[in-house]
Structure 1
Amino acid sequence: MSAKQKKTLSVGGMYYKQLNEEIRAQAAKGVGHFVLKECNGQRYIATALEGDLLFDIYGVPGQDLGAFMRGPRIRVHNNAQDGVGNTMDEGRVIIEGIAGDVIGYAMRGGEIFVRGDVGYRVGIHMKAYLDHQPKIVIGGKAGDFLGEYMAGGIILLLGMFSDKPDAPVAGRSLGTGMHGGVIYVRGGISEEQLGPGLQAQPASSEDLEVVEELVREYARELKLDSEAILSENFVKIRPFSHRPYADLYVPC
């Protein structure tokens, strides 16, 4: 396979709209590898882009990185803000630092790998779509409402690479309203952190095969020790009902 045509842009003072227009113009000319230097909060990078594109981002990209994306691969060599992978269909986002809130909102495919901690409501409304199975791996810890209203896909929470040693692995109300998909947690999680009606149970042998495959890919991308990650037990959280709020509605 021939090397992709590369374009390096120093974007520190560039307005986000100008940057995104430039990326699209260069992609139309055949550029397949974008190196963005001095990124400083520019929003919507790679939003709605399709195909075999590669991004290396240095600095901190702004909100909705990779939103509605279908195919590109993004590596952020730092932290990322809110909304990464919003309604993403396909592709991969690798964040070598921490990330903000609502990562993977309504995500329908692809992978998001975060080395460190994430904020609130990560994986909210995540869902499987046709043969797409979205996956989020969090190396650190998560804020409140992880996997809220989750309808499909996989969230794997490791709790290992965190700058909050005294915090619980996740905030309150994990999986609230969850009606599909599965959340795996390395080690375990306190019942008081779970949303109403949810329980954590030991991962089965079939679950562990899924976890191992995902961990090895995550570790490869972030140059981590997969064996160290897999040396601990895992628990899984699944929804107790596909209609958790059915009893709240009065039949007509």
Structure 2
Amino acid sequence: MAKTITLDAGGIYYRQLNEQIREAVAAGATKIVLNNINGQRYIAGAMEGKLSFEVNGVPGQDLCSFMRGPTVRVKANAQDGIGNTMDDGTIVIEGLAGDVVGYAMRGGKIFIKGDVGYRVGIHMKAYMDKLPTIVIGGKAGDFLGEYMAGGILLLLGMYSDKPTEPIAGRSLGTGMHGGVIYVRGEVPVEQIGPGLSAQPVDDADTAAITGIVKEYAKELGLDAKEILAADFVKIKPFSHRPYGNLYVPA
């Protein structure tokens, strides 16, 4: 049975809060409830194992950086750098998220209900048998999937606070050389990075999307059938060395 410890983060500096979290885990806690979170950084950073966190409030930068295994649920918005270089685990954001989500992410899942900022999934990569996955329920800013080397980005565009904006900003997938970006609906051609194009999904893609959407919908209390009721397109790199022709051999 999970041992739950509740911590009040009101007025606590981020270093002291993270020390309290580690002390709680060392004392045997497997579920940590954090109340009154207000911008504290590095929550669950480098934590390992079958731990769960409930974050009540808006966490600061680098939530779950280098994390290996825990499940973290944020019942509000979150700031920049979520899942920075994380290896494993699940992060659920019930609101919006900032820039650089999943930077160099090598495993695990990040499920975001609303919009995200710039450069989400940058340098994201698959590692051994791990397939990192980010699902964005809203819309994304510029450079989504920039230099992406592996994994899956799934952009839904449904739960957005920006109804008049395109589903993604400029230069989607610029420099990507691995992985795949799935988009629900259509992507304006002018938003896609150089040399890339949106293509129809095949049966294998549809199966992958369906599995991810069902898990995402379950975590966030959404209707998977509604999400899957539209067509999807995929964006994949045309080369493993998209800029190789820019360099002259020595």
Short-chain TM bin: over 0.9
In structure 1, distance between residues paired with 2:186 and 2:128: 31
Letter in 2 for 1:48: A
2:125 counterpart residue number: 127
Counterpart of 1:63?
Answer: 61
Partner of 1:36: 34
Distance 2:29 2:120 in 1: 32
Report matched runs for 1:43-122 at 5 Å.
43-122=41-120
CA displacement, residues 59-101 of structure 1 (integer Å, 9 cap, x when unaligned): 0000000000000000000000000000000000000000000
Partner of residue 202, structure 2: 204
Distance 1:128 1:114 in 2: 20
Unpaired runs of at least 5, structure 1 = none
- Aligned-partner Cα distance in 2 for 1:57–1:69: 15
Which of 152-161 and 19-28 deviates more? 19-28
Q: Report the RMSD for the aligned CA atoms in angstroms.
A: 0.4
Q: What is the correspondence of 1:103-182 to structure 2 with a 5 Å cutoff?
A: 103-182=101-180
User: What amino acid does structure 2 have at the position aligned with 1:104?
Assistant: G
Deviation of 1:25 after TM superposition, in Å, equals 1.1
Q: Look up the equivalent residue of 2:195 and give its one-letter code.
A: G
Matched residues in 2 for 1:22 and 1:249: separation? Answer: 51
How many residue pairs match? The answer is: 250
Q: Deviations over 1:122-151 (max 9, x none)?
A: 000000000000000000000000000000
1: CA distance, partners of 2:47 / 2:204: 35
In the TM superposition, residue 174 of structure 1 has moved relative to its aligned partner by 0.2
Task: State the Cα distance separating 1:202 from its structure 2 match.
Answer: 0.8
Match of 1:188 in 2: 186
Q: Which amino acid aligns with 2:155?
A: L
Letter in 2 for 1:164: K
Deviation at 1:250, TM superposition (A): 1.4
1:215 maps to a residue whose letter is V
**1:191-249 Cα distance to aligned partner (Å, 9 max, x none):** 11000000101111110000000000000000000000000000000001000111111
Gaps of 5+ in 2: none
Cα distance in structure 2, aligned partners of 1:237 and 1:41: 34
Alpha-carbon distance between aligned partners in 1 of 2:65 and 2:186, rounded to the nearest angstrom: 31
Instruction: Give the corresponding residue for 2:233.
Output: 235
Where 2:211 maps in the other structure, the secondary structure is helix
- Residue 13 of structure 1 aligns with an amino acid whose one-letter code is G
State, as a whole percentage, how many aligned pairs show the same letter.
67
Work out the CA distance in 2 between the residues paired with 1:137 and 1:173: 19
**Separation in 2, partners of 1:225, 1:154:** 21
Structure 1 residue 12, shift from structure 2 partner: 1.7
Shift of 1:54: 0.3
SS at match of 2:30: strand
